[in-house]
Amino acid sequence: MDYNYYDTPEGDDCFLKLWYTSKVTGVTGLGISAVDVLFYSHPKGYFETLSRFGYLTLPLVGMAAAFTATTCAATNLRGKDDKLNYALGGVAAGCIFGTWRKTIKSGFVASVLLGAFAMLKKASKEDGWEFMPEIKYRERFQQDWSLRKHRPGNWVSSESEISEE
C-alpha cells in the first residue's frame, strides 16, 4: 500500500501516520548512521557499531513519532485543524532533541525552530504554496567520454593508409 502523510485529513488514521513517519525517519536515520560509522566515528566491533546506529537513529524516529502523535492528539482534542497543532508537534519533537543532546538550551532552540518550521509547512499546505519544492532535474544528455574525440572531415586513419599501399 502506498500511503502518504497527507492522504487522510489531520486527526484521522493516527497510527498509519505514525507508522509512515517512523518508517521514513528510520530509513533516513539508518542512512545517516551508516555514513557516520563509515566516515566519521569508526567504532570498533559489532556492539559499538550497533550502539552508534541506535544513538543516531532512535532519537530521529522518536522525534518523528512525537511530532505525529502530538499533532494528531492536538487535532482530536482541540477539534480544529490549524497551524497551532503543528507548532505543538514541533515543540514535542524539539523536546526529544533536547533530551537526546542532554541540554535544555538545545531543546529550547530546537523546539522553537521545529515549531516554526512545522507552522510554515502547515501554512504551505493550507495556502497551496510549496515549503520545500521538488527538485527538478534537467533531461540527461549524451556526453562523449571517450579519450580521443572523433574529428569530422576528410581525415584518414594511418591504418587505412598502410593497408591501401
Per residue in 88-122, pLDDT (tens digit) is 999 999 999 999 999 999 999 999 999 999 999 99
Q: Chain-centre distance of CA 14, in angstroms?
A: 20
pLDDT (0 to 100) of residue 146: 73
pLDDT (0 to 100) of residue 161: 52
What are the Cα distances from residue 108, in Å, to 66, 84, 93? 15, 17, 11
* In-domain check, residue 88: yes
* In-domain check, residue 114: yes
> Which domain covers residue 88, as residue numbers?
11-124
Give the model confidence (pLDDT) of 127-158 as tens digits: 988 888 777 776 666 666 777 766 666 666 66
* In-domain check, residue 15: yes
Q: What are phi and psi of 94, to 5 degrees?
A: -65, -35
Percent of the chain with pLDDT strictly greater than 90: 68
Write b or e for each residue in 116-150: b if 16 or more Cβ atoms lie within 10 A of its Cβ, otherwise e. ebbbbebeeeeeeeeeeeeeeeeeeeeeeeeeeee
Give the model confidence (pLDDT) of 42-56 as tens digits: 999 999 999 999 999
Which three three-digit cell numbers place residue 165?
599501399
* In-domain check, residue 165: no
* In-domain check, residue 63: yes
* In-domain check, residue 71: yes
* In-domain check, residue 22: yes
The mean predicted confidence, pLDDT, of the chain is 88
* In-domain check, residue 92: yes
How many distinct helices (H) and strands (E) make up the chain?
5, 0
Query: What's the total number of domains in the chain?
Result: 1
DSSP 3-state of 42: coil
Q: Is the pTM of this model over 0.85?
A: no
The whole-angstrom separation of Cα 55 and Cα 100 is 9
